[in-house]
Amino acid sequence: SVNLLDTNYRSKWNDRAKRALKKYEQSGAEIKMVDAETFIKAFKETHVKHWYKRDYINNYKRIRAFAPDKVRQWLVYYNNKAVA
């Protein structure tokens, strides 16, 4: 998680990335690793237009079928709601 990055690693970031991290930390949002079901549910519920949403989910399931330990699912939560 971004929250666990040490300062030595962060020191290599450019100014734009540092500002974005600062805004994220002040926002109260959290990045969490979730299971596949939670990830799919949140992706389906996004209000962003995504022309290939069904194809993306099917491809995601196929990838998880042969390499589940290689696929990581991260969601951003704000006020206990998945937002990204």
Question: What separation in angstroms does the CA of 30 have from each of 36, 39, 75, 76?
Answer: 18, 15, 8, 6
Per-residue confidence band for 60, with pLDDT thresholds at 50, 70 and 90: confident
Exposure pattern of 56-78 as b/e (b: 16+ CB <10 Å)? eeeebeeebeeeeeeeebebbbe
pLDDT digits (tens, 9 = 90+) for 7-58: 677 778 888 988 888 888 888 888 888 999 998 898 888 776 667 777 888 8
Model confidence, pTM: 0.66
pLDDT of residue 6: 63
